Structure 1
Amino acid sequence: MSGIRQQPQAPTVLRQLAGGERIDLHVHDDHQIVYAAAGVVSVATKQGTWVGPATRAIWIPARTPHEHRAYGDTALHLVGLPVNPLGLATPAVLSVHPLLRELIIAYTDDPADDSAERRRLRAVLLDQLKLSTQQAALRLPAAQDTRLAALCAILDRTPADSRPLAALGSAVGASERTLSRLFRAEFAMTFPQWRTQLRLHHALVLLAEGHPVTTVAHLCGWSTPSAFIDTYKQTFTTTPGRHHP
């Protein structure tokens, strides 16, 4: 895997990242939990990009090449795990309830500590992790078909573009029927489902960068701020203003 930094162990550490800062492509032999207690972090693999707010963590299986990017000032908590308590072989988005959040924060506070107390903390963290549920992943898959990739690039640049699939198809040289088939075949999503995922991805980034909710709703293509808030709440079980005033 040329160009990929090898790390035998996945680190357990708190890293403070500035907005826009990256952790370059790397791979490790351990599994890892990635959690941003503040800010927003994205995790990119060759399969796509995962992102989530402070109510979510991202599971990275061992030997999965990936890279991180921070949006807004980000407190990035990384927990390396030689064991796989979840039995998951692919990246996933996990719910983070208040107790699990505090356990992750406490466990990454002093990684060099090898006390009995910290070992007990780890045991509780693993128990709570097993209770965490997989969430509908805020994932942007990587397109393989060039026409689908071109359409995705258009809307990634301008997520507020509200043109229907037929009009977008004309711009990339594919019929509405062909693109509908490609969305289902490559992404296992319909076009409207994917566009909502894309808009939420951009919304999380803009909120982390300090933009107000009304501005985010407009820039990401929702007709009204209340429509954006409703979609956000359905996805993340909280309102955007709660974590991003």
Structure 2
Amino acid sequence: MRRAPQSHPAPDTGLTARHGPSLTVHRVFRLPLSCPVVSPTRHTWAHRDAPGPSLRPMADRERVEWHYHDVNQLAWPGRGVLRMTTAQGSWVVPPYRAVWLPAGVPHAHQAHGPSELRCLVFPATVNPLRLAGPAVLAVSPLLRELIAALTGPDAPTGRPARTLEQAALDQLRQAPELPLGLPQPRDPRLRDLAALLTADPGDPRTLAELGRAVGAGERTLSRLFRRELGLSFPQWRAQLRLHHALVLLAEGRSVTATATACGYHSPSAFIEAFRHAFGTTPGRHRHDRDAT
């Protein structure tokens, strides 16, 4: 029996509904970097079969629209950077990170730079970290090699495949969950504020100044950020800037240009923030990305 997708009430996206047992998307969407996170409606969900490990090359800005699976999925960009979006928020995922997507959760993804999407799938009952929702996970070198082997052109079958899948599960049980998601606000005032900063992450305005632009006081907005998103405004803006930085680096911007575009006072301040969040420098990130 097909698992019903989890319900997430949300505004209409205007996307066309797709029906049928599977979904294949070949269109390339050229979306601006400022395109806001939009949530799916029930009319835009498409069920997509995921019978086993998969590898999908993706062109720069190629987007796979809203769909869901009956299985748990571990999505890893073997190269490039991928943006994963659900009704709860978005995650920008470099090759040393992966996203856990529970069965039944509608999601979409978009490539930034030439990328590839490698996925492992597990029955809905198999959840080694007991995660209730989508999560970003650190990916060890061994887990990267296991995913690459299971999704490559010479992927094993039968007992060798099951052995590698079990090893991947063992690695997943040790994978740290990372607080790298960008939550999606629901309050209209927060959504307007988020749209302003998504359009220009380098915007230097304070919360009070942004509040005047969206018609809300600083205290009200600060309280809404904590209540809805579980983050302070500075924490949320820092996450937004880091997400935007990953996208710009994937699309070929220099470290200095990326730091300026994302509102950092200096390249060194950007490098320190990047290292703190991702455990590597922007320069090393670009080198590792290009080497994959």
TM-score bucket (shorter structure): over 0.9
2:135 aligned with 1:92: yes
Tell me the secondary structure at the aligned position of residue 244 of structure 1: helix
The alpha-carbon distance between structure 1 residues 111 and 178, as it changes in their structure 2 partners (threshold 3 A), is farther
- Residues 1:105 and 2:148 are matched in the alignment: yes
Aligned to 1:69: 110
Q: Aligned match of 2:166 in 115, 119, 123?
A: 123
SS class of match (2:56): strand
Q: CA offset at residue 91 of structure 1?
A: 0.4
* Structure 1 match to 2:198: 156
1:65-102 deviation line (CA, Å, top 9, x unaligned): 00111100112111111122221120001011111111
| 8 Å CA contact retained: 1:15, 1:77 | yes
Q: Residue in 2 aligned with 1:176?
A: 218
1:10–1:48: structure 2 CA closer, same or farther, 3 Å change rule?
farther
Counting matched residue pairs gives 244
Whether the 8 Å CA contact 2:197–2:203 is kept in 1: the answer is yes
SS of corresponding position for 1:5: coil
1:115: how far off? Answer: 3.0
* Farther off after superposition, 127-136 or 188-197: 127-136
- State the distance in 2 between where 1:189 and 1:139 align: 11
Q: Is the 8 A contact 1:10 1:29 kept in 2?
A: no
Residue deviations 1:15-63, cap 9 Å, x none? 1101100111101110000111211111111111112222211000010
Aligned residue runs from structure 1 range 226-241, under 5 A: 226-241=268-283
Structure 2 counterpart of 1:242, one-letter code: R
Gaps of 5+ in 2: 1-41, 288-292
Report SS of the residue matched to 2:60: coil
The RMSD of aligned alpha carbons is 1.4
Unaligned runs of 5+ in 1: none
The whole-number CA distance in structure 2 between the counterparts of 1:172 and 1:5 is 35
TM-score (structure 2 length as normaliser): 0.81
**Alpha-carbon distance in structure 1 between the residues aligned to 2:149 and 2:276:** 29
Alignment of 1:47-66 (within 5 A): 47-66=88-107
Contact 1:49–1:140 (CA<8 Å) still a contact in 2?
A: yes
Return 112-121 or 181-190, whichever deviates more.
112-121
Partner residue in 1 for 2:237: 195
TM-score, normalised to structure 1's length?
0.96
Structure whose residues are more often helix by fraction: 1
1:106 is displaced (CA, Å) by 0.9
Q: Distance in 1 between matches of 2:49 and 2:111?
A: 23
Q: Could you say which structure has the higher strand fraction?
A: 1
Contact 1:41-1:74 at 8 Å conserved across structures: yes
Match of 2:55 in 1: 14
Contact 2:150–2:156 (Cα < 8 Å) also in 1: no
Moved more, 120-129 or 186-195: 120-129
Whole-angstrom CA distance in 2 between matches of 1:2 and 1:111: 38
Native 8 Å contact 2:149 2:155 kept in 1: no
Match of 2:64 among 20, 23, 46: 23
Instruction: Give 1:132's aligned residue.
Output: 175
2:249 is aligned, of 207, 219, 230, to: 207
Contact 1:10 1:28 (8 Å CA) reproduced:
no
Residues 18 and 70 of structure 1 are in contact (CA less than 8 Å); yes or no, is this contact kept in structure 2? Answer: yes
Instruction: Report the secondary structure of 2:264's partner residue.
Output: coil
The reply on whether 1:223 has 2:265 as its aligned counterpart is: yes
**Separation in 2, partners of 1:26, 1:84:** 20
